[in-house]
Amino acid sequence: MVNYMEFYFSQDEDIQKHEKQKARELRNSQWWKRRRSQGICHYCGGGFPPKELTMDHLVPIARGGRSVKNNVVPCCKDCNTKKRHMLPIEWDEYMNTLDPDHN
């Protein structure tokens, strides 16, 4: 297993603040409300009341991700907490360690 965290870099604090502000604005948009209204976690596929789903950045802000529509997904609090600053490939590898039949 590759340790992708060695590719981790600290995003400039001003850029992080700007992206977090953009995420707050996106969370208030009709687009996000419709996306979340499906009630499905992007990662585990579980069904949840829409208000319980959080916005997760596929590529985290701290890893250079942006707050744009193609980089955010609805996700349950449990998956969001576990994923933290992982990239999608890191998340898949993590899930494979828990369940080798994941893919």
Confidence of residue 8 (pLDDT cuts 50, 70, 90): low
Average pLDDT over residues 74-95: 92
Which residue type does 58 have? L
Confidence of residue 12 (pLDDT cuts 50, 70, 90): confident
pTM: predicted TM-score of the whole model, two decimal places: 0.81
Confidence of residue 75 (pLDDT cuts 50, 70, 90): very high
Could you give the 3-state DSSP secondary structure of residue 48?
coil
Q: Are 52 and 76 in contact (CB under 8 A)?
A: yes
CATH architecture, domain 11-16+30-93:
Orthogonal Bundle (1.10)
